[in-house]
Amino acid sequence: MRNFILPAAVLALMSSANAQQTAYGQCGGASWTGATTCVSGFYCQYSNEWYSQCVAGTASTTAAAGTTSSTAAAGTTTTTRTTTLATSTTSTTAAAAGTGTAKVDELVGYGRAATGGGSAAATTVTSCSALESAVAASGAKVIKVSGLLSGCGIIDIESTKTILGVGSNSGLTNGGFRIKDADNVIIRNMVFKIPPASGDLVALDGATNVWIDHCDFSTVGLTGGKDDYDGLLDITHASNLVTVSWNKFHDHWKGSLVGHSDSNASEDTGYLKVTYHHNSWININSRLPSLRFGTGHIYSSYFEDCPTSGINSRMGAQVLVENNNFNSVQLAIVTDLDSDDEGYAVQRNNVFTDSTTRITQTGSLTPPYTYTMDAAASVPAIVAAYAGTGIVG
């Protein structure tokens, strides 16, 4: 019997070895047994010891160390395809007006109209059941969460709510928030650690006028399967007018997804307007954020040790990326990854250290609000000192 089984096994192995992975599929990593070569027009890009991915282009598209990318004038669109590796500060346009010292306790950006529960008297909760009841109540409410509540599951947040963590270690572990079809929600000073399996820590689904500020998001790092948990903060289904500020995102596979599907243009186009500022993103594999169809303004944030991709603009999304600091980030800004249609990006006054970019289309974005940025060189120290919990509230 062995004489018949052995050739079949050999043939199976030969078939696996000769197979080619489809576009954007996995092509390597620890314990990976599938195809390790990619279809024509794609190559297997190493991300880390656990994961490699088939991406567009050839392995020789990376430019020599020390080259810098250029940014076209606002309003133009370019389609040149380059990958650059920057080892020092790169600056391609003059500093934008408003560079200075940003205020730590101020709401700016697309979510600037959010008022949450306003001046309503605060209710303090110390259990999952009390929190769930408080956020489900009608009318404007201010809810203070005292302590790290475990095992709450996914809690739905209703409109006109402010949720504040008490001190520096209050929030949820093995639980998360969902803001679905709700308006005017503020979440500040909360710890979010480890969601339910395959879930998000915070999910916005058809939500509008939302401010996420001074929170801490994490799971267990780049271990286990990348799909064991979903995103740290995902914004989908035409959610709109959101500000994400002064947060710490760390130790996870998937950071923040804006727009959940390439096939959702009819719902998402014209929405998904999000401002990210003064956040830190450390030891996260990708999606810092990843945007489809929407509009993203990312400024004065710090990115470190992100092995696959950073800010990913796709499916026609427009992003303005300015005064950020990138350290050891693969594809810190990219516009042709993971989707059939490319996105647009404008980058200016960023610092890149051992980090690559691949901007294939340069569009234009002028934010409809005033804002103050910090100089990119100062951002790592500023964000380390003032982002996350224990600063406000």
Q: Give catalytic residue positions.
A: 287
List pLDDT tens digits, range 301-359. Answer: 999 999 999 999 999 999 999 999 999 999 999 999 999 999 999 999 999 999 999 99
* Average pLDDT rounded to a whole number, residues 376-392: 97
Q: Are residues 46 and 137 in the same domain?
A: no
* Average pLDDT rounded to a whole number, residues 228-242: 92
Q: Are residues 107 and 56 in the same domain?
A: no
In this prediction the pTM is 0.79
Tokens 């399967």 correspond to what residue?
Answer: 225
CA distances from 96 to 27, 104, 232, 339, 344 (A): 41, 20, 30, 31, 19
Q: Is residue 297 part of a domain?
A: yes
**Radius of gyration of the chain from Cα atoms?**
22
Q: Is residue 77 part of a domain?
A: no
* Spatial contact of 9 and 27, defined as CB atoms under 8 Å apart: no
List pLDDT tens digits, range 138-162. Answer: 999 999 999 999 999 999 999 999 9
Domain total in the chain: 2
**CA proximity to 51, closest of 178, 223, 278, 267:** 223
Q: Are residues 47 and 92 in the same domain?
A: no
Q: Is residue 71 part of a domain?
A: no
* Spatial contact of 97 and 299, defined as CB atoms under 8 Å apart: no
pLDDT for res 109: 99
List pLDDT tens digits, range 60-108. Answer: 333 323 233 333 333 333 333 444 554 333 433 333 435 668 999 999 9
Q: Is residue 393 part of a domain?
A: no
Q: Are residues 201 and 269 in the same domain?
A: yes
Domain span at 382:
84-386
Q: Are residues 27 and 93 in the same domain?
A: no
| Minimum mean pLDDT range among 43-52, 272-281, 321-330, 362-371 | 43-52
* Spatial contact of 108 and 275, defined as CB atoms under 8 Å apart: yes
Tokens of 272: 């998904």
Q: Are residues 196 and 312 in the same domain?
A: yes
pLDDT for res 20: 87
Q: Is residue 72 part of a domain?
A: no
Q: What are residue 41's phi and psi, to 5 degrees?
A: 90, 0
Q: Are residues 138 and 36 in the same domain?
A: no
Question: For the chain, what percent of residues have pLDDT higher than 90?
Answer: 68
Q: What are residue 91's phi and psi, to 5 degrees?
A: -140, 120
Q: Are residues 136 and 44 in the same domain?
A: no
pLDDT band at 46 (very low <50, low <70, confident <90, very high): low
Q: Is residue 128 part of a domain?
A: yes
Q: Is residue 127 part of a domain?
A: yes
List pLDDT tens digits, range 259-316. Answer: 999 999 999 999 999 999 999 999 999 999 999 999 999 999 999 999 999 999 999 9
CATH number of the domain enclosing 359: 2.160.20.10
How many other CB atoms are there within 10 angstroms of residue 267's CB atom?
A: 17
Q: Are residues 162 and 242 in the same domain?
A: yes
Q: Are residues 88 and 53 in the same domain?
A: no
Q: Is residue 78 part of a domain?
A: no
Dihedral sign, Cα of residue 196, residue 198, residue 202, residue 208: negative
Q: Are residues 42 and 115 in the same domain?
A: no
pLDDT for res 11: 40
pLDDT for res 224: 73
Q: Are residues 246 and 351 in the same domain?
A: yes
